[in-house]
Amino acid sequence: GAYRTDVEGNGKREPATPATTYKDIEQVVEGGAKEIDPVHPYDCDDPEKTHDLMAAIREACQEYSVLSKVILETAYYDDYFRLYDVTQEVIERYHAGFVKTSTGQHPKGGARLETAAIMLEAIKNSGQNCGFKAAGEIDTPDDAAQLIALARIKMESRFIDPTLFRLGSSKQ
């Protein structure tokens, strides 16, 4: 199911609701956040709950004028058609400013070329001005170069700009 982000840093993991989701975003914005990185409730098997949570994220981000960078946790998806559909839905229905591949915490891994290609295709076909961030398991300059090349092929060179394309790595 869907769980709240631990905005207080206390390690609690509680079920998310639209009201707590909105309140959590309000709290981090009051703390100075200009961008929000919510995780799409990929493992929630209730479409209505997923919609309500994503709608709360959309509404809070619009209300507080912050960028929503929705993390899809692409390693979860064995069905690439489903990943494409979820990416488009997050862009078109929930107005994500960015879609991200991963938290980097999923046991199956993070950014992969095939899932990045699917997400970039969904962005391109949406016609929206949505950015893309690949994160998780970008360990080498070669990994980064491959993702940049893929984005150039799929989206054209103008896409390689920090307002639309970002890479994230947790490696130090």
For every one of its 172 residues, what pLDDT tens digit does the chain have, with 9 covering 90 and above? Answer: 555 554 444 455 677 899 999 999 999 999 999 999 999 998 888 999 999 999 999 999 999 999 999 999 999 999 999 999 999 999 999 999 999 999 888 888 888 999 999 999 999 999 999 999 999 889 899 999 999 999 999 988 677 788 899 998 765 5
Q: How far apart are CA 151 and CA 159, in angstroms?
A: 7
The DSSP element (H or E) to which 54 belongs, if any, is helix 47-63
Predicted pLDDT of residue 13: 60
Q: Can you read off the two tokens belonging to residue 12?
A: 């609690």
142 is catalytic: no
54, 61 in Cβ contact below 8 A? no
- Mean per-residue pLDDT of the chain: 88
Q: Can you read off the two tokens belonging to residue 66?
A: 């912050």
Q: How far apart are CA 73 and CA 134, in angstroms?
A: 10
Predicted pLDDT of residue 57: 95
Catalytic residue among 52, 69, 85, 100: 100
Taking CA atoms, 138 is separated from 71, 130, 145, in Å, by 16, 21, 10
170 C-beta neighbours (distance < 10 Å), count: 13
Catalytic residue among 24, 37, 69, 143: 37
117, 81 in Cβ contact below 8 A? no
34 is catalytic: no
Taking CA atoms, 71 is separated from 17, 31, 65, 100, 142, in Å, by 18, 21, 19, 4, 23
101, 134 in Cβ contact below 8 A? yes
Q: How far apart are CA 110 and CA 55, in angstroms?
A: 25
Predicted pLDDT of residue 7: 47
37 is catalytic: yes
Catalytic residue among 24, 46, 85, 133: 133
